[in-house]
Amino acid sequence: MMSPGPINGEHPIPHHPIRSARIVGDDGEESVVATVYCPLKERSTTVPECESCHRFHALHFDAASRTTSVVCHSGPASRGEERADPLRGVGRPVNPEAPLADIMTRDVVCVRPEVTVDEITALLVRHGISGMPVVDAEGKPVGMVSRADVLRAAQERGDTEESERLTLRRDEVAPLDIEQGFHVYEPVETTARDIMTPVVLQMHESASIRQAASLMAYEGVHRLPVTSDDGKVVGILSALDVLRWFGRSCGYLIPPARKRA
């Protein structure tokens, strides 16, 4: 169904962006869980659930922000407009009670605990992010991995130092008591489970920005997984997300980041 476009730059009815959690498994396969934050239910819904809702109007793709939204009669227009286009928040009064769903990063990359550090490194580079949630089979967070964790793991396995060459004099014996011949050792793969920070601080998507900012500052963390009613990851909130929201609320033009975490 076609959606009404903006009239004089204003959307006539609220738009609710579709968020996606990409979960990468140890086989490299990605599964995507798409959800929408329903302000009436104050929880996540799926797109099919919206499509069967009597308030549903249309799906709308905004080419400028590359965001697909559910358009429905679910609340005050100003709130929906903010979600459809983050630039619309410019100059609005700072509202620390606004839900995290309004400002979190909506496309979140997650990994399963069995994913190797090499694959995590590739994901961090490919998506231009600095950390990601580690999730169980149901998509619930069990830990966080960051660039710092990857670097620490590399340092611990000696990837950042040149290995010392072992030279033995003729009369010395090798330090390992092994038989002559070839010896094949399987390298032990380091995985997300080995390097993640297992204690997960997380917040529900309807929690306020005030609560999230306070928790992050108190705990000294840079990012929080944001979860739905069933405990699954639906987004991620970074310290930069909070700063962007604050700057925008103070009237500065701050475009949405292409890739964040």
Nearer to ligand SF4, 48 or 220 (CB): 48
Q: Is 50 in the site for ligand SF4 (CB under 6 A)?
A: yes
Return the closest-CA partner of residue 52 out of 70, 77, 76, 32.
70
Q: Which amino acid is at 143?
A: G
Q: Which residue among 11, 15, 16, 60 contacts ligand SF4 (CB under 6 A)?
A: 16
Return the closest-CA partner of residue 243 out of 217, 219, 204.
217
Backbone angles phi, psi at 154, to 5 degrees: -65, -40
Q: Say how far residue 224 (Cα) sits from the centre of its chain.
A: 8
Site string for ligand SF4, 58-77 (x = CB under 6 A): ------------x-x-x---
Distance CA 73, CA 38 (A): 11
Cα angle, residue 116 at apex, residues 257 and 150 outer, rounded to 5°: 60
Q: Which residue among 20, 25, 26, 55 contacts ligand SF4 (CB under 6 A)?
A: 55
Min dist CB 46 to ligand SF4, Å, is 9
Nearer to ligand SF4, 45 or 191 (CB): 45
By CB under 6 A, how many residues form the interface with ligand SF4? 14
Distance CA 242, CA 80 (A): 19
Q: Is 84 in the site for ligand SF4 (CB under 6 A)?
A: no
Candidates 41-49, 110-118, 162-170, 234-242; binding stretch for ligand SF4 (CB under 6 A):
41-49
Candidates 19-27, 44-52, 61-69, 197-205; binding stretch for ligand SF4 (CB under 6 A):
44-52
Contact partners, residue 186, CB within 8 Å, separation at least 6: none
Q: Is 36 in the site for ligand SF4 (CB under 6 A)?
A: yes
Q: Which residue among 10, 28, 30, 40 contacts ligand SF4 (CB under 6 A)?
A: 40
Q: Which residue among 56, 77, 96, 208 contacts ligand SF4 (CB under 6 A)?
A: 56
Nearer to ligand SF4, 41 or 259 (CB): 41
Min dist CB 16 to ligand SF4, Å, is 5
Distance CA 207, CA 216 (A): 13
Residue 2 to residues 46, 57, 60, 61, 67, Cα–Cα distance (Å): 19, 9, 7, 10, 15
Contact residues toward ligand SF4 (CB under 6 A) are 16, 36, 38, 40-41, 45, 49-50, 53, 55-56, 70, 72, 74
